Amino acid sequence: MRRFFAALVMLALSTGAGLSLAGPSDVDSPEARAYFETGAREYEKGNYANAVRAFEQAYALTTRPGLLFSIAQAYRKQYGNDGKPQNLRQAVDYYRRYLATDTTGKRRGEADAAIKDIEAILSRLPPEIQSTPTHEEAPSTQISITTQVEDATISIDGGPPRALEAIDVTPGKHKVLVQAPGYFPEEREVPAKQGQMTALDVPLREMPAFVSITGPAGASVTVDGLPKGALPLQSPLQIEAGVRTLSVSLNGFNTFTTELDLGRGKSEDVKAALDRTRQRITSFVLIGAAATCVAGGGVMAFFAGAAGDNAKEINDRRLAGTISEAELDEYLESRETQTALRNGATVALNVAAGMGALAFLLYYFDEPRLAPPRKKDDKKPKGPDPSRLREIAVVPAVGPGVVGLSFGARF
């Protein structure tokens, strides 16, 4: 019969008023917030006695009415753990204090309903249960650590890592180490007072990701558009974890851009393979062609001079006397050869100058341009690259006394 009645009580507790708690906005100091978060965590784990202690500590620091409601909820749930009517009476007391303190609270309806449910349960308790004396155990000394990282662990006085929870300790000072994957560990010295719970919030600092980059010497490195130095780097870059866009650029090369999903404390190796731009390749081709034209023009100028010397020698003999008809033909041929070669040398040198000027412009203005980021596994996009030379045009230019070439390029 008693087991059947206990089952009915548990059913009433689970189907009665909602078991919501006060929110973080109900506390207004870091210390009180640490106790509130401890209470909420212990409540979720079913450690309602610890939740009561933490909520009561938070209320002592901030006196927010919502915490009275949370304390009542924890007492009510604790009755389901130990079956002590005193917990129900404490719950009713705190519900009433909440109603008296917060006259416009949004949980007043829940508190009224909970009081009615509990009073109905208390009225049905057998007399022998109601008259059973309760033995209050001496409260334990506890330390509770809260942090923003859910999977963090704590070690007390060099002990093994443990999940975040209220831990029984001896009174006195204790060294607490808080750590989590991807975060820098934090150590605190926490004084534990006899019979009290000491709650402390320990924020953890995120570890950066470490990125090693290999690529051409002198190339500039940017992360999310911010400069980070030039290659080779003395040490891996320390970059805030998350999705980041990394670019490596160097004059005359297409910019290497990749998107990295960096984890806290993780290392990443990036090989920046930069290929030369068409514009830079074209400038090199033009420089080579200009050098060839200069060499060709020099050769033609040399032979033009030789032909001129031969014509001058024949002309000198003509002035000194007579020359044969064959020598006259040789003279005329030498003069024609000299003129043709001289014109050819002039054209070659003019072409070389034009090519050299265009090569200089292409080389000098071949600055890196940022490309849209792509993920590491993505292939290079097909189609024309806007950062490269698209076409080059060479047009003959002929005028009175002028022979040359006109160059044009489109990017």
pLDDT of residue 264 exceeding 90:
yes
**pLDDT score recorded for residue 185:** 96
Nearest to 198 by CA among 236, 242, 240, 142: 142
CA distance 217 to 213: 11
> Tokens 């109905």 map to which residue?
120
**pLDDT score recorded for residue 331:** 82
pLDDT in tens, 136-158: 677 899 999 999 998 999 999 99
Q: Considering just the CA atoms, what is the radius of gyration of the chain in Å?
A: 45
β-bridge partners, 271? 214
9 in Cβ contact with 43 (< 8 Å): no
320 band by pLDDT with thresholds 50, 70 and 90:
confident
Strands 186-192, 172-179: pairing is antiparallel
Per-residue burial over 378-397, b if 16 or more Cβ lie within 10 Å, else e, is eeeeeeeeebbbeebeeeee
In this prediction, what percent of the chain has a pLDDT beyond 70? 81
373 in Cβ contact with 257 (< 8 Å): yes
Rounded to 10°, the helix 65-82/2-15 angle is: 150
CATH of range 142-205; options 2.10.25.10, 3.40.50.410, 2.60.40.1120, 2.40.110.10: 2.60.40.1120
Pick the more confident residue, 68 or 4.
Answer: 68
Instruction: Lowest mean pLDDT of 57-66, 276-285, 354-363, 398-407, name the range.
Output: 398-407
**pLDDT score recorded for residue 27:** 61
38 in Cβ contact with 197 (< 8 Å): yes
Strands 226-230, 242-249: pairing is unpaired
DSSP string for 111-170: HHHHHHHHHHHHHHS-HHHHTSPP-PPPPPPEEEEE-S-TT-EEEETT---EESS-EE--
Mean model confidence pLDDT for the chain: 83
CA distance 361 to 365: 6
Helix, strand, coil shares, percent, the chain, to 5: 45, 25, 30
pLDDT in tens, 168-209: 999 999 999 999 999 999 999 999 999 999 999 999 999 999
164 in Cβ contact with 177 (< 8 Å): no
Instruction: Lowest mean pLDDT of 3-17, 296-310, 363-377, name the range.
Output: 3-17
pLDDT of residue 118 exceeding 60:
yes
- Which strand (E) or helix (H) includes residue 192? strand 186-192
- Which strand (E) or helix (H) includes residue 227? strand 226-230
CA distance 230 to 218: 5
Mean pLDDT computed over 314-327: 78
287's CB contacts (< 8 A; 6+ apart) are 355, 356, 359, 363
Q: Identify the CATH number of the domain defined by range 2-130.
A: 1.25.40.10
pLDDT of residue 400 exceeding 80:
no
pTM attached to this predicted model: 0.64
Domain boundaries, the chain: 2-130, 142-205, 209-271, 278-410
CA distance 291 to 378: 41
